[in-house]
Amino acid sequence: MSAEATSPGARSRRRGRTSIDLRRLGRAALLGPASRDRLPDAIGHVADAHRAHHPDADLLVLGKAYVLAEMSHRGQFRKSGEPYITHPLAVTLILAELGAETTTLTASLLHDTVEDTDVTLDQVRAEFGDEVCYLVDGVTKLEKVDYGAAAEPETFRKMLVATGNDVRVMSIKLADRLHNMRTLGVMRPEKQARIAKVTHDVLIPLAERLGVQALKTELEDLVFAILQPEEYERTRAVIADRATTGPSLDTIAVDVRRTLREADISAEVVIRPRHFVSVHRARLKRGEMRGTDFGRLLVLVGEDADCYAVLGELHTCFTPVISEFKDFIAAPKYNLYQSLHTAVAGLDGAVVEVLIRTHQMHRVAEAGVVALGNPYTPVDGAEPADGERADPTRPGWLSRLLAWQESATDPDTFWTTLRADLAQDREISVFPADGGMLGLPAGATCVDAAYAQYGDGAHGCIGARVNGRLATLSTVLVDGDTVQLLLAQGPVQAPGDAGGVGGLGDAGGPGGERTGPMAGQAQEAAPGPSPEWLDHARTPAARIAIAGWLAANPESLKVPESEPRAPGAVTAGRRGVANVVVDVPEDATVRLAGCCTPVPPDDVTGFLVRGGAVTVHRAECSAVGRMAALGRSPVAVSWGDEAECRVTLYAESFGRPRLLADLTEAIATAGAAIVSANVEPPSEQRVRHTYTLQLPDAAGLAGLMRAMRDVPGVFDVRRAQHEPAP
H/E segment holding residue 301: strand 295-301
Residues in contact with 649: Cβ distance below 8 Å, sequence separation at least 6, in sequence order:
690, 691, 693, 704, 705, 708, 717, 718, 719, 720
- pLDDT (0 to 100) of residue 599: 73
Query: Binning pLDDT at 50, 70 and 90, where does residue 436 land?
Result: confident
Q: 34, 89 in Cβ contact below 8 A?
A: no
- pLDDT (0 to 100) of residue 362: 93
- pLDDT (0 to 100) of residue 457: 85
Please say if the pLDDT value at position 474 is more than 50: yes
- The conformation of residue 394, written as its DSSP 8-state character, comes to S
How far lies 606's CA from each of 93, 250, 580, 593, in Å? Answer: 73, 76, 10, 9
Higher pLDDT, 70 or 33: 70
- pLDDT (0 to 100) of residue 583: 61
Residue type, 396: G
For the sheet containing 590-592, what is the strand order? 590-592, 614-618, 604-608, 634-635
Query: Binning pLDDT at 50, 70 and 90, where does residue 298 land?
Result: very high
**Out of 8-12, 113-117, 168-172, which region has the weakest mean confidence (pLDDT)?**
8-12
Highest-confidence segment of 102-116, 362-376, 643-657, 689-703 = 102-116
Query: Binning pLDDT at 50, 70 and 90, where does residue 641 land?
Result: low
| Interval 110-119: pLDDT, tens | 999 998 888 8
Query: Binning pLDDT at 50, 70 and 90, where does residue 95 land?
Result: very high
CA distance 695 to 671: 7
Q: Is 520 left (phi over 0), alpha (psi -120 to 50) or beta?
A: left
Q: What's the full length of the chain, in residues? A: 726
Query: Binning pLDDT at 50, 70 and 90, where does residue 23 land?
Result: very low
- pLDDT (0 to 100) of residue 502: 36
Catalytic residue among 112, 116, 137, 154: 116
Query: Binning pLDDT at 50, 70 and 90, where does residue 97 land?
Result: very high
CA distance 598 to 720: 9
CA distance 427 to 416: 20
Query: Which regions of 655-726 does DSSP assign to beta strands (E)?
Result: 673-679, 686-695, 714-719
Higher pLDDT, 461 or 349: 461
- pLDDT (0 to 100) of residue 520: 35
Higher pLDDT, 308 or 408: 308
Q: Counting runs of H as helices and runs of E as strands, what totals does the chain give? A: 27, 24
3-state secondary structure 489-520: CCCECCCCCCCCCCCCCCCCCHHHCCCCHHHC
Higher pLDDT, 696 or 64: 64
115 is catalytic: yes
How far lies 424's CA from each of 381, 418, 540, 544, in Å? Answer: 37, 10, 11, 17
Q: Kindly state the percentage of the chain with pLDDT values over 70.
A: 76
- The conformation of residue 15, written as its DSSP 8-state character, comes to P
Please say if the pLDDT value at position 517 is more than 70: no
Query: Binning pLDDT at 50, 70 and 90, where does residue 11 land?
Result: very low
Catalytic residue among 115, 201, 642, 652: 115
Highest-confidence segment of 33-42, 504-513, 558-567, 571-580 = 33-42
**For residue 726, cis peptide bond before it (omega within 30 degrees of 0):** no
Query: Binning pLDDT at 50, 70 and 90, where does residue 342 land?
Result: very high
**Out of 138-147, 522-531, 673-682, which region has the weakest mean confidence (pLDDT)?**
522-531
644 is catalytic: no
- pLDDT (0 to 100) of residue 69: 92
- pLDDT (0 to 100) of residue 611: 58
Please say if the pLDDT value at position 221 is more than 90: yes
Mean pLDDT in residue range 314-330:
89
- pLDDT (0 to 100) of residue 111: 93
- pLDDT (0 to 100) of residue 265: 92
- pLDDT (0 to 100) of residue 676: 82
Task: Please report the sign of the dihedral spanned by the C-alpha atoms of residue 41, residue 45, residue 48, residue 51.
Answer: negative
- pLDDT (0 to 100) of residue 580: 65
Q: 456, 404 in Cβ contact below 8 A?
A: no
Highest-confidence segment of 107-116, 374-383, 387-396 = 107-116
CA neighbor of 260 nearest in space, from 342, 318, 340: 318
Mean pLDDT in residue range 580-596:
66
Highest-confidence segment of 299-308, 344-353, 480-489, 506-515 = 299-308
Query: Binning pLDDT at 50, 70 and 90, where does residue 441 land?
Result: confident
- pLDDT (0 to 100) of residue 87: 92
- pLDDT (0 to 100) of residue 672: 86
- Helix, strand or coil, per DSSP, at residue 31: coil
Query: Which regions of 30-147 does DSSP assign to beta strands (E)?
Result: 77-78
Q: Taking the CA atoms of the chain, what radius of gyration do you get in angstroms?
A: 33
Q: 598, 624 in Cβ contact below 8 A?
A: no
Higher pLDDT, 72 or 576: 72
Higher pLDDT, 252 or 713: 252
How far lies 557's CA from each of 204, 284, 494, in Å? Answer: 41, 47, 10
Q: 448, 539 in Cβ contact below 8 A?
A: yes
From first CA to last CA, the distance across the chain in angstroms is 56
How far lies 685's CA from each of 652, 711, 715, in Å? Answer: 11, 17, 13
- pLDDT (0 to 100) of residue 408: 73
**Out of 47-56, 315-324, 414-423, which region has the weakest mean confidence (pLDDT)?**
414-423
Three-point CA angle 430, 434, 438, nearest 5°? 25
Query: Binning pLDDT at 50, 70 and 90, where does residue 663 land?
Result: confident
Q: 632, 603 in Cβ contact below 8 A?
A: no
**Out of 5-14, 297-306, 387-396, 704-713, which region has the weakest mean confidence (pLDDT)?**
5-14
- pLDDT (0 to 100) of residue 579: 56
CA distance 590 to 411: 48
Task: Please report the sign of the dihedral spanned by the C-alpha atoms of residue 232, residue 237, residue 240, residue 242.
Answer: negative
Q: Is 394 left (phi over 0), alpha (psi -120 to 50) or beta?
A: beta
Mean pLDDT in residue range 554-565:
51
CA neighbor of 327 nearest in space, from 356, 367, 363, 299: 356
Higher pLDDT, 396 or 365: 365
Q: 218, 98 in Cβ contact below 8 A?
A: no
Highest-confidence segment of 142-146, 209-213, 262-266 = 262-266
The DSSP result for 557-606, as a single string, is: GSPPP------EEE--SSTTPPPEEESS-TT--EEE-TTT---TTS-EEE
| Interval 118-158: pLDDT, tens | 889 999 999 999 999 999 999 998 876 667 778 888 888 88
Q: Kindly state the percentage of the chain with pLDDT values over 90.
A: 23
Strands 461-466 and 482-487: antiparallel
| Interval 174-197: pLDDT, tens | 999 999 999 888 889 999 999 999
661 CB burial (10 A radius; 0-12, 13-18, 19+): exposed
Average pLDDT, the chain: 76
CA neighbor of 340 nearest in space, from 319, 365, 318: 365
**Out of 3-17, 39-53, 307-321, 712-726, which region has the weakest mean confidence (pLDDT)?**
3-17
Highest-confidence segment of 180-184, 368-372, 415-419 = 180-184
- pLDDT (0 to 100) of residue 555: 66
Strands 340-345 and 319-320: antiparallel
Mean pLDDT in residue range 63-82:
89
